[in-house]
Structure 1
Amino acid sequence: MDDPAEPSASPLPQPAIRCAGHERGYPALLDRAARIATGLHSMGVEPGDRIAVVMRNEPAHLEITAAAAQLGASAVPVNWHFRRDDLGHVLADSGSKAVFVHSDLLPAVTSVLPDGVRVIEAPVPAGVAAACGIDAPPVTGAHPLLDSWLAGHEPLARPVADRPPTVIYSSGTTGRPKGVLREPVPQDRLAEAVQSFLEYFAVAPGGRTLIPAPLYHAAPSQHAVLALAVGLDITLMPRFDAEEFLRLVERHRIQQVQMVPTMFVRLLRLPKDVRERYDLTSLTSVVHAAAPCPPHVKHAMIDWLGPVLREYYGGSETGAVTWCDSAAWLAHPGTVGRAEGTCGVAVLGPDGGPVPAGTTGEIYLKPSDNWPRFTYLGDSGQRAAMEAPGLSGYVTLGDIGHLDADGYLYLSDRRNDMVISGGVNIYPAEIEGCLLSLDGVRDAAVFGIPDEEFGEVLAAHLQTEPGVVLGAEAVRAHVAERLAGYKVPRAVVFEERLPRDESGKLFKRRLREPYWDRSAER
């Protein structure tokens, strides 16, 4: 299974950054970053400015991020799946002075490029193109090419001492992407913040980490920045492929990885003999977040990998607030952990007051004292609207859940995803987990659709395994045997593929909106 184009799996003399058959040591990466910084400075990029990065995962992505930081500027990772409206919004809203773009994405970027924004073209590495299933596009030559451009500059002589704010955009799964502006961690708390990262992610300086999710998302982006800062050996995946993930873990003796539950599902769908073919004993910490993990999926992962799973809950705005290791989760099945350190969790009812343990309400989070303050670009009002009434420092991400008597938090669903049918609150995440336990179902999305009698009823859109044929009645019967009758989907639709991004986030609005649009037209 070894790829002869990849570096040898012999012990690495020094940590490096690698991706799709290409490896770059830290000295070379930092030299290139310093040259990029000089080039950006020559373009007029100053402290406090922003640059955009519309590129797939590869070492150059990290070089550009490091280069911006040397200038006291911010690199804004942009979801390269975005097209005209969302892409144009992010480029304009971020106020980026320059944009780095993979060659095949140039047409989309240049069609919405704000006036005065400089473009640097980055050829798509052959290994990245192959992993992403695209033909390596020829360079356009319409803009400076990254390698030759940076080679024409000397390394930046005097990096700016002050660290810049960071900007990360939401996925746009429920609406237009929002830019989260985070102030830098105060200098006197930086060492403590880095130590917390090492402890919670159970990795040591010089350790080996794998980043399988796209760098345009907050968690993998933050993880990569911290991994660079502490000198971890970093393996990037251009896109997640289940068996390739196993191969990379074995080949590079990966110790730590951060994932999302969708990746677990894809790994568990591999034939058992394929999963057993790879040596995964180097793994000591598998961290996951971003979405509720169906309990049967997490049980299966712990049975397979051992008690190395660690889960947290938080968001781009708050960082990780709750944590739990495998032992805590097995003692409290379904939890996303409890608040650690200086963090806090509160569950509030409709009147804004706290609710008793076991009672569902809206979740409010207090970030760690080491977590930077945040706001939204151009929308401070939305930031203020997130704050808890009467609880200083607590904000909501719009999630619904409850605390148990031991302070462990359980998620029900997103507030925006909650369905109210005949006055009853229904949380689709529970039903989606049930559907994923049905043999032959590969992916599931449940949401509310308009109904004259009940206001809303449930629709389930499913993706089946190749060659599997299921009927709507079999799906309904499966749910009816396990959940209350009002949780059985009224509409069942089979899709060739559900609209998810590379990190597994589901664009449920793309499935839901046509139903409501048709209802409005009647």
Structure 2
Amino acid sequence: MSNAVPQALEDIDTLGNLTRFHARERPGDEAMLFEGRSTSYAELDRHASQVANGLLADGLRPGARVGFMDKNSDHFYEIVFGCAKSNTVSVGINWRLAPPEVAYILNDSQAEVLFVGPDFYALAEQIRGDVPSLKRIVAMEPGHAEWPSFESWRDAQDDGDPGVPVTTDDVAIQMYTSGTTGHPKGVQLMHRCFFDLWAYPPADDMAFNEWTEDDVNLVAMPSFHIGGVGWGLMGLRPGARNIVVREFDPGTTLEMIQTYGISKMFLVPAAIRMVLQHPKARETDYATVRFICYGASPIPLDLLREAIEVFQCGFVQLYGMTETTGSATYLPPEDHDLNGNERMRSAGKPFPGVKLKVVDEEGRALPPRQVGEICIASPVNMKGYWNLPEATEKTLVDGYVHTGDAGYLDEDGYVYVHDRVKDMIVSGAENIYPAEVESALFGHPAVADVAVIGVPDERWGEAVKAVVVLKPGESVTPDELVGFARQRIAGYKLPKSVDFIDELPRNPSGKILKRELRKPYWEGMERHVN
């Protein structure tokens, strides 16, 4: 429970001690750069103390929840570390949600303070009366008539370290699952979740995971997503320089690479696709980029090939979920082959310290190459869902998180993700995994994006439907697409119909909202399986 500053990087086990350590070791080094505003590690630590003291002055007790709803910024991390130093819990809120959904998260978490950005002032004003737990709202920018601005509120606080006792088992961050079905669940991540995997010796093919203070890290994914805040903390832990962008934009990404010499970044496949389609993608100098990590959804093989050819750096697939604090497996650059190989279709192998198994519907472990539910045992698994003991018991079983993903392990322990279990299509008693069909269709030169869903079918129960986005200026007929896929997958997996739309609906983490695509086809049906 000591807040004594660790002597070595490896000894850091709470987020508060991370800023304390770097303030001592590299006080003048730049921790973050955001839209021209530079923050040193000493300033980050001092600002975290001010945030912590402000929360304590408002009467927040250990375990109190603190909401944040804004796009990415350096100030977000000051709030995360301020919560850590006060033993309160930061709750990032998806700023794309509708007012009732935001109110639900604030009420579910019982948030006592809300930090809110200018784009969302009206929303916060609208729901404030529906959230009785809120004691204070802080505006992230100056100019609100009633709420203090973040910097004025922060700078009015004492900058001495509060010295509140914090343990590695205390909850640091609460993240809400995307909630594509029902209400979102609050995933409780303890301080240890951001440090414990570092205790395990790295494998020989983990150069991508070796960080130094010389790295320049691009933080572009949304902060309410584990691929955002988790990646930001990944770069801050070793004392690297972190370039934070307000939100992902392909042009901005290319500009940051060129201007600041980015060495590492994390992007979801949808973002990689947008960067590759940008006019300047093939004019940019990628000499400083050492590794691009990608994840959050499967990536079609043809997109991966194009990305490797353009960026000319090491690519690493990361697989995990919020409940596992992000990455549980990795596919190293050595397993990425431009000519294609079996492993390029996998999500990699477990990080040292992580165990995988695949189970059937009865929970029995399956042998290699048999499809079942992927389960992950990790020292950085969540504590559980906030105030949902039954959901926690269902998901966290004997130390394993049941992911809800269908897949299998090969003989070498690599995991192959087919799809969400619930997205499986059953047609004529055959199980069809949409990701496999999507990958087959994506290789067509006219296809920019594709999603495959199951729709009602009188004869087969369900039929495979492809929903396709074409590249600008391209055209293709449904028959041509099906003929193309026929060369890649079994006949029973082929789409029975093809629809063309302008854009696929996605959540902020890049995952396609299959439920939205299915809705019109299942309208009037009592059940959404047939």
Decide: shared fold, TM above 0.5: yes
Displacement, 1:270?
3.4
Alpha-carbon distance in structure 1 between the residues aligned to 2:208 and 2:375:
21
Matched to 1:393, the amino acid is G
Partner of 2:389: 380
Partner of 1:160: 164
Partner of 2:221: 213
Alpha-carbon distance in structure 2 between the residues aligned to 1:90 and 1:194:
38
Give per-residue Cα distances to partners, 1:422-449, cap 9 Å, x unaligned. Answer: 2111111112222322223222221112
Give the stretch that moved more between structures: 348-357 or 440-449.
Answer: 348-357
Matched to 2:134, the amino acid is V
Matched to 1:166, the amino acid is I
In the TM superposition, 1:127-142 aligns within 5 A as 139-142=143-146
CA 1:31–1:187 in structure 2 vs 1: closer, same or farther (change >3 Å)? Answer: closer
Alpha-carbon distance in structure 2 between the residues aligned to 1:141 and 1:393:
49
Partner of 1:413: 419
| Equivalent position to 1:88, from 98, 103, 111 | 103
Partner of 1:283: 289
> In the alignment, is residue 348 of structure 1 matched against residue 359 of structure 2?
yes
In the TM superposition, 1:197-236 aligns within 5 A as 201-236=209-244
Name the SS of the counterpart of 1:448 in structure 2.
strand
Displacement, 1:123?
4.8
Indicate if the aligned counterparts of 1:311 and 1:324 stay in contact, CA closer than 8 A: yes
Matched to 1:153, the amino acid is Q
> In the alignment, is residue 74 of structure 1 matched against residue 89 of structure 2?
yes
Give per-residue Cα distances to partners, 1:146-170, cap 9 Å, x unaligned. Answer: 2222222222442324154321111
Name the SS of the counterpart of 1:457 in structure 2.
strand
| Equivalent position to 1:514, from 511, 520, 527 | 520
Normalising by structure 2, we get a TM-score of: 0.85
CA 1:75–1:174 in structure 2 vs 1: closer, same or farther (change >3 Å)? Answer: same
Give the stretch that moved more between structures: 99-108 or 453-462.
Answer: 453-462
Normalising by structure 1, we get a TM-score of: 0.86
Aligned residues: 490
Matched to 1:492, the amino acid is V
Displacement, 1:374?
1.8
Indicate if the aligned counterparts of 1:101 and 1:119 stay in contact, CA closer than 8 A: no
Matched to 2:106, the amino acid is L
> In the alignment, is residue 298 of structure 1 matched against residue 304 of structure 2?
yes
Alpha-carbon distance in structure 2 between the residues aligned to 1:353 and 1:431:
28
Displacement, 1:213?
0.7
Partner of 1:133: none
Alpha-carbon distance in structure 2 between the residues aligned to 1:408 and 1:187:
24
Name the SS of the counterpart of 2:212 in structure 1.
coil
Partner of 1:313: 319
Alpha-carbon distance in structure 2 between the residues aligned to 1:380 and 1:304:
47
Give the stretch that moved more between structures: 407-416 or 487-496.
Answer: 487-496
Indicate if the aligned counterparts of 1:48 and 1:73 stay in contact, CA closer than 8 A: yes
Displacement, 1:79?
0.6
CA 1:511–1:140 in structure 2 vs 1: closer, same or farther (change >3 Å)? Answer: farther
Matched to 2:96, the amino acid is H
Q: Give 5+ residue unaligned stretches, structure 2.
A: 1-26
Partner of 2:18: none
CA 1:189–1:473 in structure 2 vs 1: closer, same or farther (change >3 Å)? Answer: closer
Alpha-carbon distance in structure 1 between the residues aligned to 2:426 and 2:74:
46
Partner of 1:18: 33
Displacement, 1:199?
6.2
RMSD: 2.8
| Equivalent position to 1:143, from 140, 144, 147 | 147
Identity %: 27
Give the stretch that moved more between structures: 54-63 or 352-361.
Answer: 352-361
Partner of 2:179: 172
Give per-residue Cα distances to partners, 1:361-410, cap 9 Å, x unaligned. Answer: 2211111xx4255211121111211255xxx4223111111111222111
Name the SS of the counterpart of 1:518 in structure 2.
coil
Give per-residue Cα distances to partners, 1:23-59, cap 9 Å, x unaligned. Answer: 3333333333322222222211122111010010011
Indicate if the aligned counterparts of 1:206 and 1:230 stay in contact, CA closer than 8 A: no
Matched to 2:383, the amino acid is F
Alpha-carbon distance in structure 1 between the residues aligned to 2:103 and 2:91:
14
Give per-residue Cα distances to partners, 1:113-141, cap 9 Å, x unaligned. Answer: 311403434356xxxxxxxxxxxxx9442
Partner of 1:399: 405
Alpha-carbon distance in structure 2 between the residues aligned to 1:420 and 1:371:
35
CA 1:506–1:174 in structure 2 vs 1: closer, same or farther (change >3 Å)? Answer: farther
Matched to 2:423, the amino acid is D
Displacement, 1:206?
4.3
Partner of 2:139: 122
Matched to 1:462, the amino acid is V
> In the alignment, is residue 494 of structure 1 matched against residue 500 of structure 2?
yes
Q: Give 5+ residue unaligned stretches, structure 1.
A: 1-11, 125-137
Displacement, 1:257?
1.1
Displacement, 1:191?
6.5
Indicate if the aligned counterparts of 2:83 and 2:90 stay in contact, CA closer than 8 A: yes
CA 1:201–1:295 in structure 2 vs 1: closer, same or farther (change >3 Å)? Answer: same
Alpha-carbon distance in structure 1 between the residues aligned to 2:202 and 2:101:
36
CA 1:194–1:521 in structure 2 vs 1: closer, same or farther (change >3 Å)? Answer: closer
| Equivalent position to 1:106, from 104, 112, 121 | 121
| Equivalent position to 1:328, from 314, 335, 342 | 335
CA 1:215–1:187 in structure 2 vs 1: closer, same or farther (change >3 Å)? Answer: closer
Displacement, 1:470?
4.2
Indicate if the aligned counterparts of 2:30 and 2:39 stay in contact, CA closer than 8 A: no
> In the alignment, is residue 242 of structure 1 matched against residue 250 of structure 2?
yes
